[in-house]
Amino acid sequence: MLRYRVLISGRVQGVFFRDTCRRLAEQNGVSGWVRNLPGGRVEAVFEGPDEQVRHLVDWAHSGPRLAEVDDIAIQAEPPQGLAAFQVK
């Protein structure tokens, strides 16, 4: 079980980043959340089985088709037993 907090910078708001992230997380059985931050970044927490969480982190490096990811910061955290994925 892994948990990562991810901060994504670039053109990542207004390009369906959060909705696409939610759909991918649900398809992969990953719990957590995603939200827009002031200043244009997106923050997400991915928690679940190792391979599936890593898949979401890899996807966050490029995001959905219209996104332009300039930078990504990844921080490991202790899992908290989240049960679902939500857009905040």
Could you give the residue numbers annotated as active site?
18, 36
**19-56 exposure pattern, b = at least 16 Cβ within 10 A, e = fewer:** ebbbebbeebebbbbbebeeeebbebbbbbeeebbebb
Q: Which residues are 48's β-sheet partners?
A: 2
User: In 3D, which of 83, 23, 70 has the Cα closest to residue 42?
Assistant: 70
Number of other CB atoms surrounding residue 87 within 10 Å: 14
